Structure 1
Amino acid sequence: MEKILERYERDCYAEKALTYSEPEFQGNWYQEYAKLKAKIEALHKSQRHLMGEQLDSLSLKEQQQLEHQLDTSLKRIRSRKHQVMLDSITELQRKVKQLQEQNKGLEEELMENQKLKAVAQQAQWEQQNPPAFLVAGSHPTLCIGTYRGEGAAQAHVRNCSSLLPPWMHRHPNG
């Protein structure tokens, strides 16, 4: 049964191949070629008209149709351009929002790091500069005013002045 089907298909294809090689079919190919060639030429002519070339051969009605076609095309182009710009603006706004959120997170992280750094610097400073009353052999004294004259008294003021801020070191008369 399969052999019969194969022979049938082979004979059908052979018959079709013979009909395609007949002169009538070749004439159809020639007609098809001529139609396609005329269509291509019409498209080239239309393209030249749309580009503004060879408009002298057009009648007033054809020029009006061409103008209407150009207006319609221009409206479509502007509409598409407008849509692309809106899409672009929306995308850019989304990116701006994302960057602002990222910036806010980085600012918070920076503030956190600055706080940690300040605490570490304070601890280091306190470790390097213990309070005067904790230093062995020193006695907290309040030195107000200055002594004039004796070198020992001035030395005492200098030692005491390390505990006072600089603006309190000067005597109002001196």
Structure 2
Amino acid sequence: MSSSLKLGSTKSTIERYKKACNDGLGTSSIEETNAQYYQQESAKLRQLIQNMQNSNRHLLGEGLSSLNSKEMKQLESRIEQGLTRIRSKKHEMLLAEIEYAQKRVMELENESVYLQAKIAEVERLQQVNLNKVTAGFFEQYWQSSEPKVNGLLGFCKVMIF
């Protein structure tokens, strides 16, 4: 409820009370006055609800035949202002989504660089280990009293395949 409606209701109630006290009216007269007041307030609220429902129908493009050209222009202006606000909000949301997507792309690119470095490190360690195994094999092979040609060929076949 708007503050002006509350203020008006409060002033009206106070005025009715003062009038009832000054006039020396009885309790039944105060009750009648209150009943009339609430009936008027009820009628005002029903009218307000009806006006709001009509306004909503007009905004939806319904019941326009009851409007004159000036009212149609005002309605059109209200709709255009609303569309402008909607488009502005949509634009803000799209910009925020684009910004988020750009940040996410940067995060994924950084993660990709990190993972590529990890892969390169693992491959380097595997090569170092392979070199150690190969060096150990040849060292053992050359240190033995009788070189085994078949063993060397077997190792080479394993390394190739």
For the aligned pair, the TM-score class normalised by the smaller chain equals 0.5 to 0.7
- Higher alpha-carbon Rg: 1
1:40 counterpart = 2:53: no
Q: Which runs of 5 or more residues in structure 2 are unaligned? A: 1-26, 157-161
Q: 2:77 aligns with which of 65, 68, 73?
A: 68
Q: Normalized per residue, which structure has more helix?
A: 2
1:99 counterpart = 2:108: yes
Matches within 5 A, 1:1-174: 22-130=31-139, 133-138=142-147
Tell me the distance in 2 between the aligned counterparts of 1:25 and 1:84.
52
TM-score (norm 1): 0.62
SS of residue matched to 1:136: coil
Query: How far apart are 1:131 and its partner, in Å?
Result: 6.9
> Post-superposition, which runs of at least 4 consecutive aligned residues in structure 1 deviate over 6 A?
none
TM-score (norm 2): 0.67
Q: Which runs of 5 or more residues in structure 1 are unaligned? A: 1-17, 139-157, 166-174
* Pairs aligned (count): 125
Tell me the distance in 1 between the aligned counterparts of 2:38 and 2:136.
101
- Listed one character per residue, the Cα deviations across residues 108-134 of structure 1 (whole Å, up to 9, x for unaligned) are 111111111111122223333437543
SS of residue matched to 1:71: helix
SS of residue matched to 1:124: helix
